[in-house]
Structure 1
Amino acid sequence: MYLKNIQIDNYGAIPKLNIEFPFNDDGTPKPVVLVGKNGSGKTLLTSSIVDSLIQIKRSEFHSITEAKDNSYYKAGKKDYIREGQLFSFVRISYVLNDAKRLVYNDITSYTPSETQKLLQHYNINFQHDFTDNGFSKSIEGEAKGVFSKNAILYFPVNRYYNPAWLVERTDPRIETIESYVGKNTDNFIKTNVINSIESWILDVILDAELYEKQIIPAQPYILLGGVFQPINGSLIGANKGKNTQIQFLINKVLTTILKSKIPNLESARFGISNKESGRKISVIIREKGSDNDVMISPTFSHMSSGEAMLVALFCSIIKNFDAVSGAEKLNLTEITGLVIIDEIDLNLHIEYAKKAVPELLSLFPKVQFIITSHSPFFLLGMKDIFNLNYQVISTPGGEIIEESDFEELQTAYSIFIERFEDIKENLTILENEIYKSTRTLVITEGKTDWKHLKAALLHYQDKGEFKELDFSFHEYEDASFSDDKLHNFLTNVAQVSNTKKIIGIFDRDEGNGRKYSNNKINELGNNVYAMTIPQPEHRSYHDGICIEFMYKDNDLFKENEDGRRLYVSSQFNDNGRLIKDIRVGVQNHNKIKGKNNIKNDNIVDSEVIDISGRSLAMSKNDFANAVLNQCDTFKGMDFSAFRELFETLSEIIKK
């Protein structure tokens, strides 16, 4: 059974919505992700789906655990009718394996008679007391066998709170109940699954070991008195059976989760910890290129909460399908069902949300996933894994989010993850530099700044000046220390005792650099100092410079052998055209918007092209390398503006 269509009118935050759920050409369902601001109706929508499933289940069983007796899961409340409207209408359609349909209707009205007339074309079988109280829930179609053929699960967000529409009930607990005809004891609403899943995984492993060992007839011999004598015996082969299959599927889920944390992972599996730990399941891994297994979690509780929740969530699908289907062989690709997950990214690290969760969803191609999420990183991961074979729908209107809307999300991910990894590696290298010598360490804000300073210092020392300056630069190529990153690093290092001086040099164009420019030397404590590059006389008009502006224009605009050079924003007009040659322009003129004046000049080192599309800009890094390496056209640079900076460095080192 799969969800086919949802129609909602005038219900809570949703004025009007009509969602047709998508399927692939082979009939398998595409995952659907519901996104929207808090209060936009995502939880109301999923609660309606769950309520419809409970009503479908109730039509087959006279006793269910999701709701007591004749009470409802989702309470009917007229205050959920949108202001100014007279009724709310929820209609949810399902398609069964035999192409038959099941339809759920949920109607609330201030004017029942008029509402019946408005909805008469749906041929709804209204409850007999609808005209008296204005509430009606009904099921159209035959529901028999739905819950015995599919994994149907709901993982709500109310593990932390109860929403207003939830009817009070006693939370389901693990208990031994004897089933009988007409009674269903499995609750598909999973509010506390970690403990039960841990117990189930332990049972699976033990059953596989105890009952599914293959005994192979054999004739062993033993050497007695120099003669081999036959004895009774047999060989024990690999496990084979249903629990062994399930154990393989569980380990596949575990491996998929841990790959996000351990890139070199070859496999992961659950084992059984020793008796001292209380016979609990443990997590064992093997990395690529290794012949040894390593236990990384002696018990289930040693896993992170995010890892444990993902194991519990996706193993619950296997557990549920095994319980209801009666299948002798289990394969993830053959599990059918409907799984609703509210806020799937809740409490998950960015990498798990982006990589692990989409890969886990892809393991179950015949399960229809209806998911709500607030994570842009999860959406990026879905795009990476599913390409076009999934759908993102925005509430409250039900608009489909197109692929073109993901470009900004990819940029955000790059900033959050890829740049962070560069910074983290950079800090590790820097930590080693701090302790490997007693020389003063100079750290610049940008990854090109140290090259300019090094070139200028070599220039002066070749002339016999500043020979006393004995320090080393933190020379790095990957990620730069931004204004904030350098400031945070220095203030943290200043909290501990340092036997050598550490000096951070900032540009003057951002927050901390501007702040430190108020003083020539800023002593942060424990031999840690901060300073900014000086304001040269030839840039006295500028509000805040970066290091390239230490050069005069005739050096700043030098061309390399390919005819490329740096530009500044004041050289372009409001339309992004080069003032001296309108055949040249900036592709994205927003780069110079508001900065095309000499007071707010910015370096422009990309996206400058001529009318033929040829790129004319040289990157800051290429410019810095050309200066440091004294390339042909960059010999004889004027470093006079750097003198004041080295004088300040000399003053700090002598303190």
Structure 2
Amino acid sequence: MYLKNIQIHNYGAIQKINIEFPFNDDGTPKPVVLVGKNGSGKTLLTSSIVDSLIQIKRLEFHSIAEAKDSSYYKAGKKDYIREGQSFSFVRISYALNNDSRLIYNDIASHSPIDTRKTLEHYNINFRHDFNDNGFTKSIDGEAKGIFSKNAILYFPVNRYYNPAWLVERTDPRIETIESYVGQNTDNFIKTNVINSIESWILDVILDSELYEKRVIPAQPFILVEGTYHPYNGTLIGQKEGKNTQIQLLINKVLTTILKSKIPNLASARFGISSKESGRKISVIIRKKGSNTDETIAPTFSHMSSGEAMLVALFCSIIKNFDSVSNEDKLNLTEITGLVIIDEIDLNLHIEYAKKAVPELLRLFPKVQFIITSHSPFFLLGMKDAFNFNYQIISTPDGEIIEESDFEELQTAYSIFIDRFEDIKGNLNILESEIYKSTRALVITEGKTDWKHIKSALLHFQSKGEFTDLDFVFHEYEDASFSDDKLNNFLTNVAQVSNNKKIIGIFDRDEGNGRKYSRNRINMLGNNVYAITIPQPEHRSYHDGICIEFMYKDKDLFKQNKDGRRLYTSSQFNDHGRLFQDTQVGVQNHNKIKGKNNQKHDNIIDSEVINISGDSLAMSKNDFANAVLSQDDEFKDLDFSAFKELFEIISDIIIK
């Protein structure tokens, strides 16, 4: 049985949709992914499908586990009728193996008589009391045997169990279920799936070991006093049987999941843990090129939550089909059914959502998957795995969309681009001739820092010091690397192998610089390092210096040929007036607010004017250029505070 069509009118957020569910040329169903914002109707749509399945199941069993007695799974409420409309209408069609149809109708109305006339062309079998209460649910068609031939499962958001460390967790290994004629105890709404699937996998492995080993008669011989004597014996052959086959399918699911985390994985399987661990299942892998097994999870609870969730979800499909199938052998490609998964990417890492889940869906080509998701990464993975053999439907309009039209994907893309566009441009550094060389690369925070450090290095090398330091600067003139951007750049580059050392140098006045100042050298991985400029003795009082404070005041306040210079916030009073000359002030008092003290001293390089309105400040870039070019006014500077910085760089390069 497959879902063929769903029509919804005036129901909650959904005004009108008519979805024809897609199939491949060979008749196998294409996965369908429902996307949309919260409140757009995804849950109402899936709950209607689940309610229809429960009503179909009631036609065959007088007692079912999904809903007690005659109660409904989804209660009819006129509150769900869209404002301004007189009725809501849900109609779901299923195609059966014999080409017949099953049709479910769910109607609520403020004006039952008028609604009957509006919908009369559907030939709906209305309940006798519809005119009185305005509610009706009906099933048209023969439903016998549907739930005994197909894997039909619904995984709601609350499908997973409580953490293993909770005291009230029960042991799922022994379960007794009594069945009676007309009664069905298998609830296709799956909650607590991890506990139940753990118990089932253990049963499968034990039954395979205990009952499906082939015992082959053999005639062994034993050497006694130089003569071989025959005695009766047996050999254990390869296991055969349904549980052994199921075990292979389970291991295939497990291998598919773990390949997302272990690229060189050859195979993975479930085994049985030691008696000390309580005879639970363990996870054993073998990597490509290896002849030995490795236990990566001594018990099921040692798996990551994402891995356990995926095992439980997809093995539940095998478990359900095993319970209804009369086949001696099972094959994933032959399992038929309908599986609804709400928020399939729930609690999953990006890699599992993008790589593992689409590959797991591909293992079950004859299962119709109806899925809701908010994950752009899952959709990108579906595109890679299925190409055009799946469909994305956007709620509340029921529009068929492409991955690029998915609003969450656009939002995520915008966040990444807005955040890293400038860094992406700077990644050209890695492709430049500078990066291709074997010399270490130094990248500074701020476009002036490299100029000061380069000037200091030239000064020391002219005196015969640090002549063995072999590195190049990333020399840039734009605003490429702030504290945050430099940190993002370094942490991204540290994720890939580098054949040379990359050193990022931070000031001490912002977040990442303060963080890295706690250690002399910070190793970020793959030959990438982060350091901060050292705190010179003459600034020991300061809470967090920038590069200009490496100079002593006599050099910091030098004037250029135009009479301009740098100022610091501690040189001004609360009114923004220069202590030494009250006719000089800062136009914007906020520049010095809270910083006109030595501990929080800050460089002021603009908006300093005299009583005539003349600009007196020199920009930090002009100051750096004057130092680097050794302008007459900026010769013979004291670079002693930079010496410790070069000692740190030297220690990194020679490691």
Q: Distance in 2 between matches of 1:210 and 1:296?
A: 25
* Counterpart for residue 60 of structure 1: 60
* Counterpart for residue 234 of structure 2: 234
Contact 1:34/1:394 (8 A) holds in 2: yes
Contact 2:516/2:531 (8 A) holds in 1: no
2:206 counterpart SS class: helix
Query: Is 1:199 paired with 2:189?
Result: no
* Counterpart for residue 352 of structure 2: 352
Query: Is 1:131 paired with 2:159?
Result: no
* Counterpart for residue 268 of structure 1: 268
Query: Is 1:482 paired with 2:485?
Result: yes
* Counterpart for residue 493 of structure 1: 516
Query: Is 1:361 paired with 2:361?
Result: yes
Contact 2:454/2:628 (8 A) holds in 1: no
Q: Which has the larger radius of gyration?
A: 2
Alpha-carbon distance, 1:259 to partner:
0.8
Q: Deviations over 1:598-633 (max 9, x none)?
A: xxxxxxxxxxxxxxxxxxxxxxxxxxxxxxxxxxxx
* Counterpart for residue 83 of structure 1: 83
1:238 counterpart SS class: coil
Q: Distance in 1 between matches of 2:296 and 2:636?
A: 51
* Counterpart for residue 381 of structure 1: 381
Q: Distance in 2 between matches of 1:96 and 1:192?
A: 30
Contact 1:148/1:325 (8 A) holds in 2: yes
* Counterpart for residue 248 of structure 1: 248
Q: Deviations over 1:91-130 (max 9, x none)?
A: 0011111111111000000110100000000000001111
Query: Is 1:33 paired with 2:33?
Result: yes
Q: 1:283 to 1:111 in 2, by over 3 A?
A: same
Alpha-carbon distance, 1:395 to partner:
0.5
Q: 1:206 to 1:469 in 2, by over 3 A?
A: same
* Counterpart for residue 580 of structure 2: none
1:536-551 alignment, distance < 5 Å: none
Q: 1:232 to 1:376 in 2, by over 3 A?
A: same
Contact 1:443/1:504 (8 A) holds in 2: no
* Counterpart for residue 122 of structure 2: 122
Query: Is 1:46 paired with 2:36?
Result: no
Alpha-carbon distance, 1:640 to partner:
4.2
Alpha-carbon distance, 1:482 to partner:
2.9
Q: Distance in 2 between matches of 1:522 and 1:188?
A: 70
* Counterpart for residue 520 of structure 1: 548
Contact 2:550/2:641 (8 A) holds in 1: no
2:64 counterpart SS class: coil
Q: Distance in 1 between matches of 2:394 and 2:255?
A: 32
* Counterpart for residue 312 of structure 2: 312
Alpha-carbon distance, 1:263 to partner:
1.2
Q: Distance in 2 between matches of 1:441 and 1:155?
A: 52
Q: 1:315 to 1:455 in 2, by over 3 A?
A: same
Q: Distance in 2 between matches of 1:181 and 1:356?
A: 40
Q: Distance in 2 between matches of 1:5 and 1:277?
A: 49
Contact 1:42/1:396 (8 A) holds in 2: yes
Q: Distance in 2 between matches of 1:30 and 1:349?
A: 25
Alpha-carbon distance, 1:412 to partner:
7.5
Alpha-carbon distance, 1:246 to partner:
0.4
Aligned residue type for 1:220:
P
* Counterpart for residue 22 of structure 2: 22
* Counterpart for residue 166 of structure 2: none
Contact 1:6/1:18 (8 A) holds in 2: yes
Please, which runs of 5 or more residues in structure 2 have no aligned partner?
162-171, 425-439, 475-480, 491-509, 524-528, 534-542, 552-559, 565-624, 646-655
Q: Deviations over 1:210-253 (max 9, x none)?
A: 00111122211111121111110011112111101100000110
Alpha-carbon distance, 1:494 to partner:
3.0
Alpha-carbon distance, 1:502 to partner:
6.3
* Counterpart for residue 146 of structure 1: 146
Alpha-carbon distance, 1:154 to partner:
0.2
Q: Distance in 2 between matches of 1:646 and 1:157?
A: 71
1:401-550 alignment, distance < 5 Å: 401-405=401-405, 443-444=443-444, 464=462, 467-468=465-466, 482-485=485-488, 490-496=513-519, 503-504=531-532, 520-521=548-549
Alpha-carbon distance, 1:415 to partner:
7.9
Q: TM-score, normalised by structure 1?
A: 0.69
Q: Deviations over 1:272-300 (max 9, x none)?
A: 00000000101111111111111111110
Contact 2:173/2:199 (8 A) holds in 1: no
Contact 1:445/1:504 (8 A) holds in 2: no
Number of residue pairs matched by the alignment:
505
Q: Distance in 2 between matches of 1:5 and 1:537?
A: 82
Quote the sequence identity (%). 70
Q: 1:473 to 1:132 in 2, by over 3 A?
A: farther
Q: TM-score, normalised by structure 2?
A: 0.69
* Counterpart for residue 280 of structure 2: 280
Please, which runs of 5 or more residues in structure 1 have no aligned partner?
162-171, 423-439, 506-514, 524-535, 541-636
What RMSD over aligned residues (CA atoms) do the two structures have, in Å? 4.2
Q: 1:29 to 1:175 in 2, by over 3 A?
A: same
Q: Distance in 2 between matches of 1:151 and 1:6?
A: 20
Alpha-carbon distance, 1:85 to partner:
0.7
* Counterpart for residue 621 of structure 2: none
1:283 counterpart SS class: strand
Q: Deviations over 1:321-359 (max 9, x none)?
A: 000122111000000000000001111001000001000
Q: 1:537 to 1:445 in 2, by over 3 A?
A: farther
* Counterpart for residue 641 of structure 2: 651
Alpha-carbon distance, 1:496 to partner:
4.7
Contact 2:520/2:531 (8 A) holds in 1: no
